[in-house]
Amino acid sequence: MILFSVPHSLYCAKTRILLRAKGLDWHEQPPSADRDLFAKASPFGNLPAILDGDFALSDSEAIAEYLNEAYPTPPMLPDAPAARARMRERGRFHDTRLEPAVRALFPLVAAPNPNAAAQAATAITQRLAQLAILLSHPLPFGLGDCGYAPTFLWIDLLTKDMGLSLDWPPAVRDYRAGLDSLPCVAAELSAYHPHATAWMAEKQTLRSADAQPARK
Ligand SMILES: N[C@@H](CCC(=O)N[C@@H](CS)C(=O)NCC(=O)O)C(=O)O
């Protein structure tokens, strides 16, 4: 299986956590390695995308559902319809609520803006409080959990860089500790962390370059 990815992408990290949890083998390549093949796998340019034999698919959530059906062991959705729906609700909350709130901080690494950063911190704190409510529905580790650990890592890196403080509800702290103790998550985080910090360092360099007075 080919996973089209770029090193710093958190949605690619999300997909690798699932690949690791499933015990699948994959080969990774950037879109630039074969533009035509990537265009076939991801016609609208989204990462991650996969090529499994001759089946091409993009979007981390579509990929997760596909992998769970094509490679059913271990199952990453519970059996009961209500619990399956809850798991999907948890995953959608990550992709459509928490991660977009965190994403608002990415451009601010290269171009600091304390007001925008404070607003984003308020939005993230709100999302973490909402996540604590969702977590009151206990579920085994599954599809809906795979995005959270990389996003939590980014929250740490970004808030530290910008001197922001967030309110982490105890239920979210416990959830995070539980995720980080899973082998599939721990392995991914140790592989991914250097890429995330390299991305931060690169953007910080741009910031210092911008801050230099223009040369005559
Ligand atoms: N909902 C998408 C979001 C993925 C996403 O935002 N990917 C970024 C890289 S982390 C990307 O592909 N950006 C370029 C683009 O969308 O053209 C998914 O789950 O796959």
Provide, rounded to the nearest whole percent, the portion of the chain with pLDDT above 90: 95
Contact 59 CB / ligand 1 (< 6 Å): yes
| Residue 3 DSSP one-character state | E
Contact 99 CB / ligand 1 (< 6 Å): no
Task: Please give the pLDDT value at position 209.
Answer: 61
118, 172: one domain: yes
Contact 65, 74 (CB under 8 A): no
Identify whether 75 is part of a domain: no
Where in the sequence is the domain holding 171, given as residue range(s)?
81-211
Contact 130 CB / ligand 1 (< 6 Å): no
Contact 96, 59 (CB under 8 A): no
Residue from 47, 95, 146, 148 whose mutation best tests the ligand 1 pocket (most atoms within 8 A of CB): 47
138, 41: one domain: no
Identify whether 76 is part of a domain: no
Q: Which of 70, 90, 114 is the last residue of a domain?
A: 70
Number of domains into which the chain is organized: 2
Task: Please give the pLDDT value at position 207.
Answer: 82
Q: Which of 70, 98, 114 is the last residue of a domain?
A: 70
Contact 11 CB / ligand 1 (< 6 Å): yes
Identify whether 28 is part of a domain: yes
Ranges of the chain with pLDDT below 70: 208-216
pLDDT in tens, 1-33: 999 999 999 999 999 999 999 999 999 999 999
**Number of alpha carbons in the 13 Å side-chain half-sphere of residue 159:** 21
pTM for the model stands at: 0.95
Ligand 1 atom closest to Cα of 11?
Answer: 10
Residue from 38, 46, 151 whose mutation best tests the ligand 1 pocket (most atoms within 8 A of CB): 46
Q: Whose CA is nearest to atom 20 of ligand 1?
A: 59
Task: Please give the pLDDT value at position 86.
Answer: 98
Ligand 1 atom closest to Cα of 46?
Answer: 12
Contact 95 CB / ligand 1 (< 6 Å): yes
Identify whether 216 is part of a domain: no
* Angle, in degrees to the nearest 10, between helices 170-180 and 114-134: 80
